[in-house]
Structures are given as C-alpha cells and as structure tokens.
Amino acid sequence: MLPEVCERVRVTRERLGWSQAELAERAEVSRDTVGRVERGQLPDPPFLGKLSELAGVSCDWLVLGRAGGYAEPDAHPGAGIDESVLAGVIEGIEEELSALGAKLDPKKKAELVVLIYDMMANEDGAQPGRGQIAKMIKLAT
C-alpha cells in the first residue's frame, strides 16, 4: 500500500505540472517532505488532504486508489471545463495584454486565466467585464 500511495502523490504532482518545490510551497510543507514522500515515506494526513484539495482528487484515490467521489486524475481530463469560455478568457487576456503593451510570465498568466475563468463560472452569473479584466491585468503586471 505505501509504495502505491507515494507513487500516486508523485503522479498527481507531475500531472499538475509542478516541481517538488512548487507542490511543497502550495501544500505548505518543505520540499524535503515532498521528496521523502515520493521516495517512500508515509505522508501525513494533512499533506494528503491539502494535495487532494489542490489537485481535485479524493483522499480515497490518493490512499487507496479508489475514486471515492472524484475521478482519478486521468479518468476525465478537463471534465467540467467549458472550452469556449476558457478560449474566450484566454483571448480576452491576450487582447488586453496587447492593448496595454504588457507581458506576464506564464505562471502569472495561468493564474490569471484560472481566476477569471472561476469568476465567469460564478454561481450568480455575474461575469467580469473587459474593464475588470484590464484592472486585473494591470495589477498582475
């Protein structure tokens, strides 16, 4: 069981495209902790809970390999994402960056895409206008 847990932690991190250091920062643990877990040390429950939350996978999957309410990461890639909305968000950001003559590093740009996409998927239907998007970009640059 332990080797499989450690392997699922590594696989999850890699599917997110994160380094061990990036996962450590986001999960609020040391980089050494992530490395030790991936080499076979039993992970602490709070770490597994945080990874579960960050990656959108269940603790059941991380620990036992069972779906338990969420899909295994490969089961439905992009599930729940409206590609046309996502494309519109990316297009809007690119247009605003161009109009401002600004550039964002890829990590900041990805965070901005996620933020705006999440705002557009807001339950109350309120979507950010171009002015709000421009303000977010100005803050990010």
pLDDT, tens digit only, all 141 positions of the chain:
567 888 889 988 988 889 999 999 999 999 999 999 999 888 888 898 889 888 888 877 788 776 553 444 444 444 456 667 777 778 888 888 888 888 888 777 877 777 777 676 554 555 666 677 777 777 777
10 and 47 together in one domain: yes
pLDDT of residue 43: 85
Domain-embedded: residue 74? no
| Contacts with 128 (C-beta within 8 Å, 6 or more apart), sequence order | 116, 119, 120, 136
Domain that holds residue 90: 83-140
pLDDT of residue 116: 76
pLDDT of residue 75: 44
Domain-embedded: residue 72? no
6 and 60 together in one domain: yes
Domain-embedded: residue 124? yes
Domain-embedded: residue 126? yes
Domain-embedded: residue 78? no
Domain-embedded: residue 88? yes
The total domain count for the chain is 2
pLDDT of residue 36: 93
pLDDT of residue 81: 62
pLDDT of residue 34: 94
135 and 90 together in one domain: yes
Domain-embedded: residue 91? yes
Domain-embedded: residue 7? yes
CATH at residue 38: 1.10.260.40
11 and 54 together in one domain: yes
